Structure 1
């Protein structure tokens, strides 16, 4: 009989900066306790960067705009998808040394084992990033 996978964790948050802290907490708490020391900090940082970008650049600015997060485990990775209603394609910036912003996707690039941007089937964009993990045993 095949191994039945876990159901992905799924959240929707208002497209507001206050949602970033709530999302970090939700994502970290959904990890198995044994993997939190290995993945918790990196996954929390990925969540912060991707959700902040979604709120700043992908949310429509209209009241009630939501961003969506999905977290799942597959093939030795934890995958995080952050989706917003925007149509733009995020690309890493190359900010100068005096710039205070613009390094979020550079952090994602350095932390994630793999990441990509995908259009959503109906409306919006998803940024998906994966972190590899090693389960003891």
Structure 2
């Protein structure tokens, strides 16, 4: 009999800065306990960066926009999709040493095994990043 996979976990948060720590906490708490030492810090950092970018660049707070997150395991990875209603396509920046921002996707690129940007079928954009994991025993 095949092993039944875990269900994806889905959250919606307001496009507000306080949602960054709420999203990071929710993602960390949803990881299986045995994977937290291996994935917890990196997945938390990915969550913080992607949610911050979605709030800053993809949402209009006056419209009560929501940031959506989906977390799921597949093919030896934990995948995180962070979606916002914006039409822009996030891209790696090349900030100079004086810049105070623009390094979020550089960090995502260095942490994630793979990542991509996808348009959503109805409205908005999703950034999807995966971290590989090894589960012992």
- How far does residue 62 in structure 1 lie from its aligned partner after superposition? 2.5
* 2:20 alignment partner in structure 1: 20
1:63 CA drift (Å): 3.4
Q: Which runs of 4+ in 1 moved over 6 A?
A: none
Q: Does 1:69 align with 2:73?
A: no
Between 16-25 and 59-68, report the one with greater CA deviation. Answer: 59-68
**Deviations, residues 82-111 of structure 1 (Å, cap 9, x unaligned):** 000001000011000111111000000000
* RMSD between superposed Cα atoms in Å: 0.8
Give the structure-1-normalised TM-score: 0.98
For residues 49 and 119 of structure 1, what CA distance do their matches in structure 2 show?
Answer: 19
- Number of aligned residue pairs: 137
Q: CA deviation at 1:4?
A: 1.5
CA shift, 1:24, in A, is: 0.3
Query: Are residue 38 (structure 1) and residue 30 (structure 2) matched?
Result: no
Q: Write the distance in 1 (CA, Å) between the matches of 2:33 and 2:55.
A: 29
Q: Residue 53 of structure 1 aligns with which residue?
A: 53
**What pairs with 1:110-129 in structure 2 (closer than 5 Å)?**
110-129=110-129
Secondary structure, in 3 states, of the residue corresponding to 2:47?
helix
Runs of at least 5 residues in structure 1 that lack an aligned partner in the other structure: none
In 2, the alpha carbon distance for the partners of 1:37 and 1:6 equals 19
SS at match of 1:62: helix
1:35 alignment partner, SS class: helix
Tell me how far apart the structure 1 counterparts of residues 107 and 30 of structure 2 sit (CA, whole Å). Answer: 22
In the TM superposition, what whole-angstrom CA distance separates every residue of 1:36-55 from its partner, at most 9, and x where no partner exists? 00000000000000000000
Secondary structure of the residue aligned to 1:46 is helix
SS of residue paired to 2:69 = strand
* 1:16 Cα offset (Å): 0.4
